[in-house]
Amino acid sequence: MKIFGHRGAAGLVAENTLESVKEALRFKVDGIEIDIHQCRSGELVVIHDETLERTTNGKGEVSDFTLQELRQFSTEEGFLIPTLQEVLALIDGRCELNIELKGKHTALPTLQLLEEYIPNSSWQNADFILSSFDHEQLRQLRAVTSKYRIGVLTEESIAIALPVAKELEAFSVHPSIRNLTEEEVILAKDEGFKVFVWTVNDISLIRKSKSWNVDGVITDFPNFAL
């Protein structure tokens, strides 16, 4: 079972920062999950929320600011909002990367960036999972490429997500640990899909996931998950 650091190592260091990604890498995770939005000047930035308030000292919507303006804001610890390109450079193919398309209209810009970045880097297409709750964005991806693995995120049951996963010829389904049952894991795997579960922060749930043959857990605490 693979261990993915959630937003880097969100339980240890401020989420979705380069410092958090470094912390996850320190524990030799199999993968890292991050969230992206597009800012006003077009760059893809790594942040979970549409707005700045929860994770930084800024106020307003991420999409209203240029990258230069976003550099004015920081987390409580003084960490900056990174770009996707900075995260790619930092990880440099040392583990897999699950890029969650959190913001609107991020699918095609993400694809363009990866297509430009990968040929001159240590990354391979197979190192990435592109996932989203916004299944329309996943459809946009699949309409133009089959080179990248797609992950279908769902807050509902795996059974509800399976028709979308089949339509998209997805690699994996990503349910919440809150709704997970062993029967649904078996159902997804019988249909040929990997199962990556979020956000698994309890040792007993990590062990249960492993006993159910889950393919990967996404956790805030890669230090005790490994």
What six digits make up the tokens of 115? 């297509």
> What does the block give as tokens for 19?
């410092």
Question: Is residue 6 annotated as a catalytic residue, yes or no?
Answer: yes
Residue 8 corresponds to which tokens in the numbers above?
A: 């880097």
Half-sphere exposure of 156 (CA within 13 A, CB side): 7
Q: Which of 37, 48, 135, 174 is catalytic?
A: 48
**How far is Cα 86 from Cα 160, in angstroms, rounded to an integer?**
35
Distance between alpha carbon 3 and the CA centroid of its chain, in Å?
A: 13
Strand partners, 11: none
Catalytic, 135? Answer no
Terminal alpha carbon distance of the chain: 10
What's the CA gap between 71 and 81, in Å, rounded?
A: 7
> Rounded to an integer, what distance in angstroms lies between the CA atom of residue 153 and that of residue 205?
19
- For the chain, give the longest Cα–Cα distance: 49
Per annotation, catalytic residue among 6, 37, 135, 174: 6
Q: Are 44 and 17 in contact (CB under 8 A)?
A: no
Catalytic residues: 6, 48
